[in-house]
Structures are given as structure tokens and as C-alpha cells.
Amino acid sequence: MALLLYRLGKFSYRHRWLVISLWLAVLLGMGGAAAAFHGTMSNNFQIPGTETQRMLDKLKKELPESSGGSAGIVFEAGEAGFTPAGKTAVGTAMTELRTLPDVQGTVDPFETQAQLDGAPAEISAAEAKLAAGQAELDASRTQLAAGQSQLAAAEQQMAAAGLPAEAIRAQLAPQRAQLAEGQAKLDAGAKEAADGAAALALGKRQLTASEGMRFVSTDGRAAIAQVQFKTSVNGLTPAVRQQVQDIVHGVSSAGVTALASKEITEDVSQLFGVSEIVGIAVAALALIVMLGTLIAAGLPLLMALIGVAVGVGGTFALTGVVDMSSISPMLALMLGLAVGIDYSLFIVNRHRGQLLAGMDPEESAALATGTSGNAVLFAGLTVVIALAALVVPGLPFLAVMGLSAAATVAVAVVVSLTLTPAVLSLIGRRLVSNRAWAKAARHNAEPGHEAADLERAEKRSSGGWGGLVTRHPWTALLAGVVLLGVLALPASQLRLALPDGGSEPVDSQAFKAYDLTRQSFGEGMTGPIVVVGEFPAGLSEDEARNKQFDVADELRSVDNVIAAAPLALSEDRRTAIFQVIPKEGPASASTVQVVSELRAKGKEIRESTGVTIGLTGQTAGNVDVSEKLGAALPPYLAIVVGLSLILLLLVFRSIVVPLLATGGFLLSLAAAFGAVVAVYQWGWLGAVFDVANPGAVLSFLPIILIGVLFGLAMDYQVFITSGMRESFMHGEDAKHAVRSGFRHAAAVVTAAAIIMVSVFAGFIFSHLTMVRPLGFAMAFGVLVDAFVVRMTIVPAVMYLLGGKAWWLPRWLDKLLPDADVEGASLQRTGAETLDKELVS
């Protein structure tokens, strides 16, 4: 592999304009495709096959007008509450929203609250009217009975007087007709009273079902409206979201503040924010410090940006045909920037060192591609494998995420191996500053500098951090393990959920809407649960309505349920929708329990009412996603670890090194989980990281972190350990090879880690709050993995083991192909031989 990459580097160096032109064409092509074919991103994390998705599909078929997504808008008035003008303004805004093509309907909070408030009085009036009617019926019934008695007595008197029967009937016919008419009126009145009693009973049940629900706060200072869309909220374009906000914000002219919920305000169309740019600026500063010139520092940045533009551009081009969440291009962007800078840096740094040592520029670029590029290839391969393995859990949105990020990393690797040597050919000697050239020339002119260089290298190997670790390996090992163990302790309390409005920045409209809703109406109103009921066939309208209330009564009996009310019934009376308001918010542990208990209640409801229920909506869907992701973690971790052991066994031809690399990765992973729980779930250092409302951790963070951190951890393992193996393969003592290999790799790995941490840290304050804990987890994970595991624990263990670290059974040694990741074949063969081979 080293030989192949050497040839690739030399080809790219010699044919720089061809390579640059090809990449320019690819870049323009991807940009054009992204502009022409991109669609709308969303944060739809539904999983096909779940109950949530099945119920949603059922609604689309049988109650399409209720199958779209809904979102809340909270209106806030001043101390005096809503004025008539304010109420009118809100009503006008609701009416205007209903005219939008994407809006199915709206719920006016004041009209709805008036109905709820007036319901008891209406019921009382209906009861009074029913009682009065009953009294009239009783009086009429008594009067009718008296008339019938009088008729019977008259008939007896006439018969006793000897009048013929026909004469009696004829004479009493008017009285009989009058009594029959009275009986008919009495029957009609009785039926009307029975219907009134039935309606009254339904009204009372409706009132009971509505208990606990309010649309205008008790203090009269807040009102919450609902907007029903024709499609899912995730499918709304940024233009529609903005149009909705513009309409409702028009109420400000009446002294009312409108706050749209997270579902409406969330804009996933923008990738870059200020914090991301700051992170890249810090990475650029680290490059300048390390490489010494703006040109040298700008080269890795340029390579990373080209790789990201191609990878993320391709991802955007697919949004028109693939349902893609906003996190997908963001993850690709984060990883593409981080690994793109690092991979190019490894090659550029080696080339720079070889130039200063007097090597021919073309030979140096080719050799750097064959050695450091070889490590880049295998390091990139580990990242690609880890990300592509996100397909295994069978979660569509996660598979898209993993594949888009894996493709971007693959592009970054190819850019580093081809475009980097081509641009190095274009830059030439300008890669190194004049001061560095002058210093190198003076040094190389000194007689006997080779021996002095060796002595200086030996001194540096035994000094610095690497020397300290290898002088006290047991102390370094124990300190590193204990530190990571302590950091990992909070991980045992990890709780997963998808974010709600409470996770947004405190100054955002989404958080203010969430907070006002929570304070004025209860936290459960921020995330109601939708229940779908399947009714038996052949029910009358009254029977179906009573079934609705029977089911609502059962739903309300679940712990931590504040209210459960029927919302809609299909025309064939076979499908009904219920809204359940939990006590706490959608991401809380109690609401997760409510979802579980509601599903468990389904069997009891079916047995008592004959109605089959299922849950859908955002809250239930989030719970489904979190549970599925939690269940997918162990098999995914097993797959990633298994693949890593095989790949590292091939790369390093050692039993110990893959086990050490994997064990170190697990320590870093646990520490990263612990830090995320402490900051985002417990709220430690919340003021620093802008965590105003600590809660459950992003549900797909663990599985993404496993894939990403594993790949990046293996990056540093490859770069650190390949230097040790290179020294060992060139005849150095195993323990000495640990020191010299560490010395060769430490500076560039340190710079690479700082760069990667800087890029990831830039996303900690991203405008997309869903990305923030992911950026923190990656930054922290890379920090502890690079400096605690790879640069402390690994050299300590390798030094303690000595030659045993490279032990491999002979039979396995014969079976494994030689990947030559350290480029030893290039060193042995020599550049001249390779050049002759290329010419021939």
C-alpha cells in the first residue's frame, strides 16, 4: 500500500494541473447539484414499523385533516391581561393563518376558553330546562290521566243509560281525539326529554374530559393557540415558518407578544454560525504556530474546505430525494473539517520536515504521501467503517447520517492523498519560511551535524512528556485510568430523549414560548400525547361519542395524566383521536413512563370498551426513537469494536496493540458520556456552556459518538503507534522505539488534536441547539483520548511491555497481508530504486 500511495503522490505532484482541474470540476459539479436538486431538511426522527408511525399512517388514510403536524403559539399580555383589542388581534391572526395553503386549521384560544368556561353554565341551564320540561311532562301526564279517567267514566254512564255503542263512540270522539293528541305531545315531549338527558350526560362527560385543560391562563395574561398543518411540521419550508411567525407577530400592535414554539421557529437550513467560524479560526492559529507560514497553515485548511464542500454539497444534493435531518450535513461538516485539516496536516508536516532535511521536493511529496499518507488512509478507513456501520441498527435517519458523514470523510482522505501533493508542487519552497530555510542551511553546513542530530534526538526522546511517561510508566498508567474512571462516573445516570423547547437558548423565542407555556398552563402542554382509537363497526353517533368518553376516562386514570379529551371522530365512526396532557414535559422521565403506561393500558381498554388504541405524535415518537436507539447501542458497539480489532490487527500485526487501542477507546467513551451527563443532564457549568434548562441527553448522541470517537481515536492510535512501529522495524530496541516514535509523532498529533478539538468546540455554541451536546461530546472525547489515552496510557503500557507489545503468532503472521502502514518498504527500498521502477 505504501508503494501504491508513493506512486499516487508522485503522479499528483507531476500532473498538478490535471489533478487540480479534476477537483475543481468535481467541486463545481457538486455545488451545481446542491443548488439545483436540494430539498428541505427536517428533524423527522420517525422509525418505520413503530406504533407511532403505524398510527400516523392510519390517520393519513382515515382522518387526513388531522394527520398533519401541529404547533403551539403562546400570546402574552401585560399586567392587566388581554384587552378587547388584544383578543381581536389574536382572533384576526388565527383567521389569517387559516388562509395559508399549508395550514389545515387553527384553534382560537379565546373562543375555545369561552366555550370551556361557559360549559358549566350551559349544563346548569340545560339541567334547569330539563327539570322544567320534566315537570311539564309530569303535569301533562297527570292531566292526560285525568282526562282518560273522565272519558272512561262518561263512557260508563252512557252505557248504563242504555245508549248504543255507536252513539257513545260518536259522542265521545272529540274527547278521544283530544286525548290522543295530548298523548302524542306527551310522547314527543318524553322523547325530547330523553334526548336532552342524553345530550346533558354527554355534555357532563365532555366537561369532565376537559378538566385540567386551559387555553387562557387563570390570571388572564397568557393564551395558547394551536395551528394544525396539512403536512408534518418537519416538512415545512423555512419560508412557511417565517410566514407564520410574521402573521402572529402582527399582534404586537395591540400590545400583545406572540411567541412561536420550537416546532415553528426551528430553522435547519443554515449550517454555519459565528461559533463554528471561531472554531476554525482557532484551528488556523494552531496551524500557523506549528507550520510557521500562512501558506503552510492555509494548505490544510484549504484541503479541508474543498473536501467539505464536495462532501456536504453531495449531501445537500440528495436532500431532494432523501428524507434528511439537519444533523446529517452538520455531522458531515464537523467531521469533514476536523479530519480534513488533520489528514492534510500529517502529509504537509512530513513533507516540510523532509524539505528542511534537504530532500528533493518531488521525492519528498511522494514519500510523505507513501508514509504519512498510508497512515492517513488507514486512519480514514477506520472512521469510514465506524460511520458506515450506523446502517446496521436499521434506523433510516441514522443510516443517512452515518453514510453522509462517511462519504465526506472518504472525500477528505482522497483530497489529502491527491490534491495535497498537487498543491505542494504548486507551492514549492514557499511552504517553508525564509527563516526556517536559513536555519536549516546553517545547520546542514555544520560539520558532523548528523551525530549531533542523533544526540539531540536522543535527548529529546528521553525528555518532554514522552520521557516523563516512560520514566514513570506505572504512575502514568494508573493516573490516566483513575482520571478517566472518575470522569466516567456520571455516565451511569445517562438518560436519553429528543430535545424540546426547554433545551433552546434562554433568549430564543422557542425557549420563551416553552417557559411561558410551562408557567401558565403546565409543562405537559408543551408536549401533548396523541392517542388514536379504532372503534367497532356499526356504532350509532351517540354510541360512538359515549365510547370516546369511556376511553378518555380510562386514559385519565393513568398516573401523571392531567387531562385526556376526545378531539375528532371519523365520518364512519371507526377512528377517533384523543389528546392526553401529561404532568411534565415531553423529555421528562415521568412522561416517558406515561407513554409506557398508556400503551400497557391498551389491553384493559380493549377488553372493557372494545376499542383498540395506539399512540402517535411528536412526544410518543420521541420516546420510540430514544428506546430504539438505546436498544441499538450494544450491538453497534460490538460491531465497531470487532471491526476495529480486525483492522488494527492487520495494520500493526500485533495482538496487544489492537486490544490496547480498543480498551483506551472504551475509557475515552465512558469519560465523554460522563462529561455530557454532568453538563447537559445535571447542569454542571451550565452558565459556561449555555445550558439553562438541563434535561435528558440527545437520544442519538451516544451511538453517533461511539462511531465518531472510535474512528478519531483510531486515527491517533495509528499516528502514535505507527511511529513506534516504524522505529521498532528499523532496528531500535522496543522500549527505545516507544520514546523515539512518540517524539516523532507527538508534535503533529498534539497540533492535530488541538485543531480537532477547536473545530468541534466551535459547535458547542451552534445556532442549532441539537448539535451543541454533540459538539461538546466530540471535543471532550477527542481531548481526553488524544492526551490521556494515546499520549499517556498507550506509551506507558507499550513501554512496560517492551517487545511483547509486538508479539504475533507465526501462523497468524503468515495469514495476514502486510499493510505496511508505517511505510517501512519505502525506507528499505529507497527513493532511487522506486524512481527507476517508475521510469521502467
Of 386, 414, 433, the last residue of a domain is 433
Q: Are 312 and 333 in contact (CB under 8 A)?
A: yes
Same domain, 484 and 425: no
**Per-residue confidence (pLDDT) for residue 346, from 0 to 100:** 84
Handedness of CA 343, 345, 346, 350 (dihedral sign): positive
Q: Tell the burial category of 817 from Cβ atoms under 10 Å away from its Cβ (0-12, 13-18, 19+).
A: exposed
- On whether the CB atoms of residues 613 and 531 are closer than 8 A, the answer is yes
Say how many domains are in the chain: 2
Q: What is the rounded average pLDDT of the residues 713-718?
A: 80
The confidence score (pLDDT) of residue 256 equals 92
My answer on whether 468 and 357 are in the same domain is no
Residues 349 and 469 in one domain: no
- Interval 196-206: pLDDT, tens: 887 788 778 77
When mean pLDDT is compared over 278-292, 341-355, 673-687, 743-757, the highest value belongs to 673-687
Average pLDDT estimate for 585-603:
89
Average pLDDT over residues 618-625: 81
Q: Do 725 and 665 share a domain, yes or no?
A: yes
**Greater pLDDT, 609 or 712:** 609
From 162-166, 544-548, 596-600, the region with the lowest mean pLDDT: 162-166
Q: Is the pLDDT of residue 696 over 50?
A: yes
Q: 53-67, 541-555, 753-767, 820-834: lowest mean pLDDT where?
A: 820-834
Cβ proximity of 262 and 513 under 8 Å: yes
pLDDT above 70 as % of the chain: 91
Average of per-residue pLDDT across 718-741: 81
* pLDDT at position 457 over 60: no
Query: Is the same domain home to 368 and 479?
Result: no
Question: Average pLDDT of 363-378?
Answer: 85
Q: Which of 481-485, 686-690, 795-799 has the lowest mean pLDDT?
A: 686-690
What's the confidence (pLDDT) of residue 675? Answer: 96
Contact 671, 781 (CB under 8 A): yes
Query: Within a domain: residue 550?
Result: no
Confidence label for 50 from pLDDT (cuts 50, 70 and 90): confident
Evaluate whether 62 touches 245 at the Cβ level (below 8 Å).
no
**Residue among 780, 670, 663 nearest 717 (CA):** 663
End of a domain among 433, 448, 472? Answer: 433
Q: Decide if 228 is inside a domain.
A: no
How crowded is residue 521: how many other Cβ atoms within 10 Å of its Cβ? Answer: 24
Tell the residue number behind the cell numbers 399512517, with chain if given.
57
Backbone angles phi, psi at 15, to 5 degrees: -115, 55
Name the DSSP letter for residue 255. T
Q: What CATH number has the domain bearing residue 770? A: 1.20.1640.10
The mean pLDDT of 297-315, rounded to a whole number, is 86
Nearest to 72 by CA among 472, 407, 517: 517
User: What pLDDT score does 507 carry?
Assistant: 82
Domain that holds residue 336: 1-43+271-433
Bridge partners (DSSP) listed for residue 226: 72, 107
> Is there a single domain that holds both residue 336 and residue 472?
no
Residue 310 covered by a domain: yes
Q: Where are the beta strands (DSSP E) in 527-660?
A: 529-534, 561-569, 575-582, 612-616
Least confident of 36-40, 117-121, 487-491, 752-756: 36-40
Residue 87 belongs to a domain: no
Looking at residue 834, what is its pLDDT? 41
**Which segments of 747-786 are extended strands (E)?**
none
* 668, 754: one domain: yes
Confidence at residue 837, expressed as pLDDT on a 0 to 100 scale = 39
pLDDT band at 456 (very low <50, low <70, confident <90, very high): low
Chain mean pLDDT for the chain: 83
User: In terms of domains, do 361 and 470 share one?
Assistant: no
In-domain check, residue 396: yes
Is 298 in the same domain as 364? Answer: yes
Lowest-confidence segment of 321-335, 491-505, 527-541, 795-809 by average pLDDT:
321-335
Task: Report how far residue 229's alpha carbon sits from residue 607's, in angstroms, rounded to the nearest whole number.
Answer: 34
Distance CA 159, CA 520 (A): 79
Query: Does 384 share its domain with 484?
Result: no
Both 409 and 325 in one domain: the answer is: yes
Q: Are residues 402 and 469 in the same domain?
A: no
Whether the pLDDT of residue 190 is over 70: the answer is yes
- What would the pLDDT profile of 60-81 be if each residue is shown by its tens digit? 888 887 777 788 899 999 888 8
Grid coordinates belonging to 54:
403505524
pLDDT at position 258: 94
What is the distance between the alpha carbons of residues 205 and 550, in angstroms, rounded to a whole number?
A: 9
- Quick: pLDDT tens for 104-137: 889 899 998 888 888 788 888 888 888 888 888 8
Q: What's the pLDDT at 462? A: 63
Q: Is residue 674 part of a domain?
A: yes
Is pLDDT above 80 for 291?
Answer: no
Average of pLDDT values for 475-484?
95
pLDDT of residue 335 exceeding 50: yes
Residues 6+ positions from 18 with CB-CB distance below 8 Å: none
